[in-house]
């Protein structure tokens, strides 16, 4: 079953760019990455899914129901963490979380205490006295306290220190094992690479690639690094499938997608001092997609 179904979703802001004809599905139980640089349209898509803004055209469904028509009903099963969190400063953390829990008509006290323990959050502090990172933790607990079926995260780790990021990822993986579906929006590719099953790459409001992480990493590219005993002309490596070729003296590096045997026979004709062939990280693949589209 599709937990999220986006069909030709478009949102325009006058002359400013929003999103254009976005279509993708998120399956039950998957962790789905939504990546692109700041300003690519990630938050606009998420706000439209949540019914916070209305689409110009197209539609989106969550749990098979239209996001606008059935918005209030759907939201009871969604946990949302925005990229920036704002609260009433004078409230204590525990009062704010109890207030949030009251919307879901179930007793969330045990769950709040459990999540606060995992995230090392002091429930007795006033919101006003919290650092940016601790306010983010409040947002995380608030988003998960009602055990939602769908968790939507918009740049969720900003403000968290590395230890808390690790705990947060462990928490998300536990929620996913419990059955929650997760939409994870980020511009930090290592996060997506670690957590997600599939990834949608968005650029300037348009979807430019939708792929399994494993396919992006394994099937598409290899990173070659060569040290040659004598300088080699860059022209020697101008083959189909070679990208990001850099030749500096006797050091050659490039991304390659294609027949590995063809490349190895080409390399075999060179006098080598060393060779390294490795999987590129998602960052390199991602930049290639962006450059390719320009």
The predicted model scores a pTM of 0.80
19: left (phi over 0), alpha (psi -120 to 50) or beta: beta
How confident is the model at residue 98, as a pLDDT?
94
Nearest 10 degrees: CA dihedral of 90, 93, 98, 104? 100
How high is the pLDDT of residue 291?
A: 65
Q: What is the CATH number of domain 2-216?
A: 3.40.50.300
The fraction of the chain above a pLDDT of 70, given in percent, is 94
More confident residue, 289 or 3: 3
Q: What is the mean pLDDT of residues 273-285?
A: 79
* pLDDT confidence bin for 85, thresholds 50/70/90: confident
Tokens of 137: 């933790």
Whether pLDDT at 244 is above 70 = yes
Given a cut of 70, is residue 7 above it in pLDDT?
Answer: yes
Q: Compute the distance between CA of residue 188 and CA of residue 265 in angstroms, rounded to an integer.
A: 36
Angle at 216 between CA 211 and CA 220, to 5 degrees: 125
The residues that bridge with 186 in the sheet, in sequence order, are 35
Separation in Å, CA 29 to CA 3, 174, 222: 9, 12, 30
Average pLDDT, the chain: 89
């Amino acid at each position: 079953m599709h937990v999220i179904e986006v069909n030709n979703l478009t949102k325009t802001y006058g002359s400013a760019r929003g999103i254009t004809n976005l279509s993708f599905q998120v399956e039950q139980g998957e962790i789905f990455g939504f990546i692109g640089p700041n300003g690519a349209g990630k938050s606009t898509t998420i706000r439209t899914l949540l019914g916070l803004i209305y689409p110009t055209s197209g539609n989106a469904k969550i749990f098979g129901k239209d996001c606008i028509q059935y918005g209030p009903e759907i939201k009871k099963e969604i946990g949302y963490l925005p990229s920036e969190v704002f609260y009433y400063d004078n409230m204590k953390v525990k009062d704010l979380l109890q207030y949030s829990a009251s919307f879901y008509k179930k007793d969330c006290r045990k769950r709040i205490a459990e999540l606060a323990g995992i995230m090392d959050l002091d429930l007795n502090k006033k919101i006003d006295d919290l650092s940016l990172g601790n306010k983010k933790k409040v947002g995380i607990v608030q988003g998960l306290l009602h055990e939602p079926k769908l968790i939507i995260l918009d740049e969720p780790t900003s403000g968290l220190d590395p230890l808390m990021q690790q705990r947060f990822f462990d928490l998300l993986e536990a929620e996913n094992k419990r059955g929650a579906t997760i939409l994870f929006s980020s511009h930090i590719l290592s996060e997506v690479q670690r957590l997600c099953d599939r990834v949608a790459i968005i650029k300037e409001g348009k979807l430019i690639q939708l792929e399994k992480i494993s396919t992006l990493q394994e099937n598409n590219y290899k990173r070659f690094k060569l040290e040659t005993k004598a300088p080699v002309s860059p022209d020697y490596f101008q083959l189909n499938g070679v990208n990001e070729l850099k030749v500096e003296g006797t050091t050659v590096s490039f991304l390659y997608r294609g027949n590995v045997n063809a490349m190895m026979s080409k390399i075999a004709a060179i006098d080598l001092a060393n060779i390294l062939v490795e999987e590129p990280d998602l960052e390199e693949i991602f930049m290639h997609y962006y450059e390719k589209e320009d």
